[in-house]
Amino acid sequence: MSLILQFALNGLIAGSIYALVASGFSLIYNTNKFMHFAHGISVVVSGYILFSLFSLINLNFYLSLFSAPIYASFIGFLIFRVIYLPLQKRKASNIILLIASISTLILFQNLILLFFGANVKDIGYLEIKQGIDFYGATITPMQIIIILTSLVFFIFLYIFMNKTKLGRNMRAVSNNKELASVIGINERRISDLSFFIGSFLGGVAGVLIALEQNITPNVGVFLIIKGFTGAVIGGISSVPASVLGSYILGLVENFGIAALPSGYKDAISFILLFLFLLLKPEGLVSLRRKK
């Protein structure tokens, strides 16, 4: 019993991180209608900024912690302006945007590799202690923080998207771009905003995983694949569905390796991704957009 509970907890923890990445990705996709694979950059940049500020320069921990995702959101915004926007002006197809996106991701990954080296970096803020016992399963305080933080952000996101004017404008652009601009919504600003918010969420995921485990140059590629998979499973055209799909992914991965050798964990998510794209690309929660 406690084994099942442990796997469930592990799944929730992983799912939380995936969901943060997926929500940002989905937000950007819905607003701009193309796949921002370079979203992984917000995760890895955020982690390394936390490392640089706190572990290298010894800046105050909380200052580093909060500024890292903010930097990440700026980088996301920059990528939009410097790479996507010029391409869009030249009427680039979605495929070209996708290739440009993947290229940018690889570019940043390798720049970080060059600059910081390939080794794993430890933030070194948390003390390693035995976790808290929870009905036979163990969970550390940091892991609890991960689950709670992501829930908090999702609640914020939900409130923003549904209760604020800006959020509603954003959804309007997602639903129907032409109509939204007819009403007077500034498309460009909404796109900018989507990149800021989305990348911020990715940045939060980056600091959380840096604190809980460590940071390597590959974490961006790794998490965007997981986040994307979660979004596809849930339904990429809806942010809440993407979040749900990511939690499902986390749970399936962790229960999956109960039966299979542990090395198959990533294989499970790849296979799920492939199968969903083939059989149910709209995801589990397919929403019908009514007028």
C-alpha distances in Å from residue 220, one per residue of 77, 102, 170, 195, 233: 17, 11, 26, 16, 20
Q: Which stretch binds other proteins (CB under 8 A): 73-81, 147-155, 158-166, 276-284?
A: 276-284
Q: Please write down the long-range contacts of 113-117, taking CB distance under 8 Å and 24 or more positions apart.
A: 113/217, 116/48, 116/51, 116/217
Query: Judged by CB, which is closer to other proteins: 184, or 261?
Result: 261
Query: Judged by CB, which is closer to other proteins: 122, or 192?
Result: 122
Query: Judged by CB, which is closer to other proteins: 145, or 267?
Result: 267
- Residue 163 interacting with other proteins (CB under 8 A): no
Query: Judged by CB, which is closer to other proteins: 140, or 149?
Result: 140
| Burial classification of residue 263, based on how many CB atoms lie within 10 Å of its CB (0-12 exposed, 13-18 middle, 19 or more buried) | exposed
- Residue 188 interacting with other proteins (CB under 8 A): no
- Residue 171 interacting with other proteins (CB under 8 A): no
Query: Judged by CB, which is closer to other proteins: 52, or 140?
Result: 140
- Residue 159 interacting with other proteins (CB under 8 A): no
- Residue 179 interacting with other proteins (CB under 8 A): yes
Window 67-126: residues binding other proteins (CB under 8 A) = 83, 86-87, 90, 92-100, 102-104, 106-107, 110-111, 113-114, 117-120
Hey, CA dihedral for 113, 191, 200, 281, is it positive or negative?
A: negative
- Residue 182 interacting with other proteins (CB under 8 A): no
Count of C-beta atoms within a 10 Å radius of residue 21: 32
- Residue 201 interacting with other proteins (CB under 8 A): no
What is the rounded end-to-end Cα distance, in angstroms, of the chain?
47
- Residue 287 interacting with other proteins (CB under 8 A): no
**Within the chain, what is the greatest distance between any pair of CA atoms?**
58
DSSP alpha helices (H): ranges in 164-238?
A: 165-175, 177-183, 187-212, 219-234
Beta bridge partners of 121: 215
Least distance in Å: CB of 205 to other proteins? 15
Name the token pair of 223.
């998490």
Integer-rounded Cα Rg, in Å, for the chain is 19
- Residue 184 interacting with other proteins (CB under 8 A): no
Least distance in Å: CB of 65 to other proteins? 21
Question: Which string of b and e fits 119-140 if b means at least 16 CB within 10 Å?
Answer: eebebeeeeeeeeeeeeebebb
Interacting residues with other proteins (CB under 8 A): 2-3, 6-7, 10, 34-35, 83, 86-87, 90, 92-100, 102-104, 106-107, 110-111, 113-114, 117-120, 128-131, 133, 138, 140, 175-176, 178-179, 213-214, 216, 221, 225, 228, 254, 257-258, 261-267, 270-271, 273-274, 277-278, 281, 289, 291
